[in-house]
């Protein structure tokens, strides 16, 4: 997803809309789990970053300045590209990543995490800067559910930049709660997803 295919030139489509491709090297997608039990008092909350993802933002050029309700977002993450970013021992890193891929996300069966927007609402903060709510379908662990993302979005001369965070319950997507490090680290049902999406045209 880091190659030129993810950074295709802007494409004109129907109704004066234009597609901006997500730039993986400028974007971030982070998942943070929260510990409970023995290690929760020490703030041991594993954080994982996606290394492979792609997506596109579609905007109507006639409406960029005033409204965003005809815009859309498509985003996909390779589930097995999530890696631990915390300063932990190599042993713990391998164990957390193994459990996450094999037992939590089951990446061999469900390799992709995808989101397709269905509606967008936006409140203009000031020129070129909006608070947006994007509602769509999130497919995670093979389960599709309606999901909403709130973000701050900035319209730039050559693209868009969106930043925000949201939470989800793993059990809503058929994901079982697990223990790591010999049972000393138990993960809560709720996880937080943080993102910075930069989508541009040349």
CATH number at residue 108: 2.40.128.110
> Regarding predicted confidence, which is higher, 182 or 59?
59
| Residues 90-116: tens digit of each pLDDT | 887 888 888 889 989 999 999 999 999
Percent of the chain residues past pLDDT 90, beyond the cut: 55
Interatomic CA distance for residues 118 and 110, integer angstroms = 23
Interatomic CA distance for residues 135 and 21, integer angstroms = 20
Average pLDDT, the chain: 83
pLDDT interval class at 6 (50, 70, 90): very low
What pLDDT sits at residue 16? 66
pTM: 0.82
Range of the domain at 105: 4-200
| Residues 123-172: tens digit of each pLDDT | 999 888 999 999 999 999 999 999 999 999 999 888 999 999 999 999 99
Strand partners, 29: 195
Radius of gyration from C-alpha coordinates of the chain: 18
Domains identified in the chain, total number: 1
């Amino acid at each position: 997803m880091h190659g030129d295919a993810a950074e295709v030139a802007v494409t004109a489509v129907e109704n004066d809309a234009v597609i901006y491709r997500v730039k993986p090297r400028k974007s971030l997608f982070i998942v943070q789990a929260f510990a409970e039990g023995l290690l929760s008092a020490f703030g041991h909350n594993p954080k994982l970053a996606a290394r492979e993802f792609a997506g596109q933002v579609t905007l109507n050029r006639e409406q960029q300045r005033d409204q965003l309700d005809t815009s859309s977002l498509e985003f996909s993450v390779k589930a097995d590209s999530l890696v631990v970013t915390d300063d932990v021992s190599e042993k713990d890193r391998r164990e957390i990543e193994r459990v996450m891929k094999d037992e939590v996300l089951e990446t061999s069966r469900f390799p992709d995490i995808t989101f397709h927007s269905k509606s967008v609402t936006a409140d203009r903060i000031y020129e070129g800067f909006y608070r947006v709510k994007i509602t769509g379908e999130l497919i995670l662990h093979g389960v599709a559910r309606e999901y909403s993302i709130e973000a701050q979005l900035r319209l730039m001369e050559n693209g868009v930049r969106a930043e925000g965070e949201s939470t989800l319950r793993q059990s809503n997507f058929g994901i079982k709660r697990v223990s790591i490090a010999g049972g000393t680290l138990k993960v809560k049902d709720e996880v937080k997803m943080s993102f910075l999406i930069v989508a541009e045209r040349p």
